[in-house]
Structure 1
Amino acid sequence: MKRVVITGLGAITPIGKNTKEYWNNLLNGVSGADKITRFDTTNFKTQFACEIKNYDALEYFDKKEARKMDRFAQYGIIAADEAIKDAALDFTKLDINKIGVIFSAGIGGFETFEHEVIEYTKGNFIPRFNPFFIPKIISNGLSGMISIKYGLRGINYCPVTACAASTQSIIHAFNYIRLNKADIVITGGSEAPITAASIGKFNAMKAMSTNNENYQTASKPFDTNRDGFVVGEGAGALVVESLESAIKRGAKVYAEIVGGGESSDAYHITGTHPDGIGAFLAMTEGIAEAGLIPHDIDYINAHATSTGLGDLSEIKAIEKLFATNLDKVQVSASKSMTGHLLGGTGAIEAISTCLSVNTDQIPPTINTNETDTNIPKELNLSLGKKAFSKKVNYALSNSFGFGGHCAALILKKYID
C-alpha cells in the first residue's frame, strides 16, 4: 500500500486566523475564551465561549457569495484555501479525477437553521424561507462547496460523527490514498456552534462550564475543579497525499500518517464509557495498524474536553494501554486554549499534532492547577503556559463524539 503524507495545513481558530498564528498561540498558552458577542446572553447559564475574534466574512468573500454560506462553511472554505496554497497545489497540472474532498461538520449550519426558524415564527408562521436554507444547513454542503470551488472530481463526502468527525475524515482520506483510490484528498472539519440554541441545549445537558467569573481559565482539562467544556468555533484543513505524488510535485512534507483506529463505546448516546473501552480500542487499532507498540508513542494530543467523566475515561484508556511507559509518553490538551470545536476539533488538533511531530514542540495544557487525584502522578500532562521541547517521532491524536464514536490518528516524523 502507498505511503501517505501531509503536505498542506490551514486553520481558522479562536486563537489564530491562520495556521501560523494558531500554532504560535498554542505554544505560548493563549486562552481563546471571552464573553459571547453573537447574541444577548443575559438569561443564559453560560455567557462565554471561544469565538473567532474580529471575524468579517467580507475579508474573505464578496457579499453575494457570503450570503449563500453558513458561517461553518465560510470557516471551512477559508481553512481549505490556506491548506491548498500551503501545499502549492496547481490543479491545472494534476489529475482532478484523483483528487477528493472528505470534510466534516458535527452539526453543520446551525446558525442558519436557528435564524430561519426564528424568522418563520416572527412572520406569523408564513413559510417565506430563504431559497438557500437547505444548502446552507446540510453538513455535507461544505465538502461539496470545496469540490466545486476547485473542480475536484474525486471522492467527496462528509462523515458526521459529532466530535470525532474530522479525525475520521482524515483517517478515511488516509485509507483512500493508500488503497490507490485517490492521489490527494483535501480533508478536515469545521463548526460554528456559538448560537443561542446551541449554548442553551448544552446548558440543558449540564455539559458546559458556567464559570462566568473566570471564563478565561474555565477550560481546565484534568483539573479537580473542572465543571464542563467551553464551546469553540473554527475549522482546520489538511492536504493529504500519497508520498509518490508529493515527491513528484517536489512538495514539502510535514509528517506521515501511519495509522488510524476507529471504534464505538457502545455505551451511551452522550457519555463516554467510564472505563474508556472505545478509546482503548481505537488507540490500540491505530497503533497496531502503524506497526508500532505503545512504547513507541512519544506524545498524545488528548481529546480532554474538561468534563468530569470524559477526561477520566480517556485517562483510564491511556493508563491501560501505556501501563509500562506512562512516564515516557507526554499528554497535552489543547482545548484548554481553543475550547471544543465539536466537528472541527479533530482537524485543528491533527494540525497541532502534525506540527509537534515536525518541530519537536508540544503545546502546554493551561489552566490546570490542581490535578484530579484519580489521574496517575507519573503521567506527564504538560501543565503550564509554555511549550515543551521533546523529540516526537510518533504522536497520537484522540477524538470522541456523542453516540460513542472514537477515533485515534497516528502520525510519524517524515523520513525520506
Structure 2
Amino acid sequence: MQKPISITAITSISPLGVSEKEVWKSYLKPHHYLNPKKFFDKSVWVANLSDEAKKEIVLLRNSDSKYKTLDDTVLYAIYASRQAIASAGWKAQDNFGINIGSSRGATTLFENYHKSFLKTNTSDTLSSPTTTLGNISSWVAHDLQTQGPEISHSITCSTALHSVLNGVAWINSGMCDKFLVGGSEAPLTPFTIAQMQALKIYSKVAYNSSQNEIAFPCRALDLEKTKNTMVLGEGAAMLCLEAGNKQNALAKIIGIGYATEILKHNISISSDAKCFQKSMKMAVGNFNPKDVDIIVMHAPGTIKGDSSEYKAIKKVFTTNTPALTSNKWKIGHTFGTSGALSLELAVLMLQKQQFIGIPFLEDEKTPKKINTIMVNAVGFGGNAVSILLRKN
C-alpha cells in the first residue's frame, strides 16, 4: 500500500435488505435469512432476496426496454452501483473506473438458453451478449454513463475482494483517483445448486427436521460440526474507493494481501490454509497484529473450509487471536459477492462500534474496541485475499 484508500460508500442488495438502515437492523437480529426453495421436487436451503428487494429489481427491469433481457446478476449490480455513487456523491463526469466481478455470471439465462437449445438445436439471438461475463460491468458503465476504465473478472469466491485489489492498484498507479468495485451473484438456479450438491458441501438439513436443527441450517465457524453445511445466497455489493484520506470516508483500507495455493486437486486447500497465512501476513505488513480487533472470516460452513482458515489465523496471530465472525450463517455464501458483503459488515461494525457475532457459538470472544478489522475471502483454486480496514 503506497497510500491509504478511502471507502466513501458501500451499498448492497441482499437478503438483509437494500439500505444501510435495513441491513444493520437485520444484522442485529439473532436469526438467519435462509429459506427452503424447491429444486427437483426437493426443498433446499437458500438465502434469497426479500420480496421488497425483488420488487425493486422488477421496477429496474421494467424501467428500460433494454434491461428486460438482462440477467439478475446485471440488474443487482446496476441497482447497488446506483446507490453507491449516489451515496458517495460521484457524477458521471468524474470518469471513475469500474471493476465488478462474478463467480458464476448469468446463471439463470445461461441455463434457460441451454435448455432451449437442447430442445430446438438453435440459440436465441441475445444468448451470447447477455451471458458473457463482461456484460455486468459494461451495463453498469452504460447505466452510470461514466467514461472511465471498465473491467470484469471472475476469481471464484474471492472475486469481489480481487476487484478491491484492482481498484487499489489503479488508484495507487495514479491512472485513476476513483474506482467503483464489487461483485454480483444470482446463483440460486437448479444446475448451480446441483453442482454444489455434487461436491458434497451443501447443507442437508431437512426442512421438516427438529427445531434444534432447523435453527441454523448453515453452521459457519462451528468447528465441532460433523457435516458440511454450506448454503447459497444471492445479491450484489459495491464500494466507492477514493485516493487519500477523505473526510466523508466510512473506513480506510490500510493493508491488502493476496496469495495462491499449490493445488492437489480442483478445490483443495491445505489443512492450515497456507494461502490465508500469506495473504493475512501481507495485509498486516508493518502493523502490529495485536491491533487487529476483528477478522470477518470467509468461513463458508464447510468442515475443511472453516477449520483450515481458523488454523491459519492461529498460526499468524498465535496467542493474540482477534474476535472472529462470519455472515454466511445468516445470508449464505454469495460466491463472488461474498467478500464485498463481508466488507460491508466490517464497515458497519466500525461505524456502529458494535460486534456482530454468531449466536450458536459459545464463549465467543468480543472485542473491547473496534478500530481495525481484517476481511478474508478465498475461492476454488486457493485464491486468498485479505483486506485490512481502519476506522476513519
Using the size of structure 1 for normalisation, the TM-score is 0.86
Unmatched segments (≥5 aa) in structure 2? 208-212
- 1:103 is aligned, of 84, 88, 100, to 100
3-state SS of the aligned residue for 1:306? Answer: coil
Which AA in structure 2 matches 1:299? I
Q: Is 1:301 aligned to 2:279, yes or no?
A: no
Equivalent residue for 1:59?
59
Equivalent residue for 2:185?
191
CA distance in 2, matches of 1:332, 1:222: 8
CA displacement at 1:147 relative to structure 2:
1.6
Q: Is 1:134 aligned to 2:112, yes or no?
A: no
CA displacement at 1:69 relative to structure 2:
1.2
Q: Is 1:271 aligned to 2:280, yes or no?
A: no
Cα 1:306–1:101 change in 2 (3 A) is: same
- 1:351 is aligned, of 341, 344, 349, to 344
CA distance in 2, matches of 1:164, 1:189: 9
- 2:251 is aligned, of 249, 255, 263, to 255
Identity %: 24
Query: How many residues matched?
Result: 379
Equivalent residue for 1:310?
305
CA distance in 2, matches of 1:321, 1:314: 11
Which AA in structure 2 matches 1:218? P
CA displacement at 1:18 relative to structure 2:
2.8
CA displacement at 1:317 relative to structure 2:
0.4
Cα 1:227–1:87 change in 2 (3 A) is: same
The question of whether the paired residues in 1 share the 8 Å contact of 2:45 and 2:203 is answered with: no
Equivalent residue for 1:376?
none
Equivalent residue for 2:386?
408
Equivalent residue for 1:167?
161
The question of whether the paired residues in 2 share the 8 Å contact of 1:336 and 1:366 is answered with: no
Cα 1:2–1:153 change in 2 (3 A) is: farther
CA displacement at 1:263 relative to structure 2:
0.4
3-state SS of the aligned residue for 1:135? Answer: coil
Out of 169-178 and 107-116, give the one that drifted further. Answer: 169-178
The question of whether the paired residues in 2 share the 8 Å contact of 1:220 and 1:368 is answered with: no
3-state SS of the aligned residue for 1:60? Answer: helix
3-state SS of the aligned residue for 2:262? Answer: coil
Equivalent residue for 2:75?
74
Cα 1:84–1:409 change in 2 (3 A) is: same
The question of whether the paired residues in 1 share the 8 Å contact of 2:323 and 2:367 is answered with: no
Q: Is 1:397 aligned to 2:375, yes or no?
A: yes
CA displacement at 1:32 relative to structure 2:
1.1
Which AA in structure 2 matches 1:316? K
Equivalent residue for 1:41?
39
Q: Is 1:3 aligned to 2:1, yes or no?
A: no
CA displacement at 1:324 relative to structure 2:
2.9
CA displacement at 1:216 relative to structure 2:
5.1
The question of whether the paired residues in 2 share the 8 Å contact of 1:161 and 1:405 is answered with: yes
Out of 132-141 and 314-323, give the one that drifted further. Answer: 132-141
The question of whether the paired residues in 1 share the 8 Å contact of 2:294 and 2:367 is answered with: no
CA distance in 2, matches of 1:256, 1:367: 31
CA distance in 2, matches of 1:106, 1:118: 21
CA displacement at 1:275 relative to structure 2:
1.5
CA displacement at 1:86 relative to structure 2:
1.0
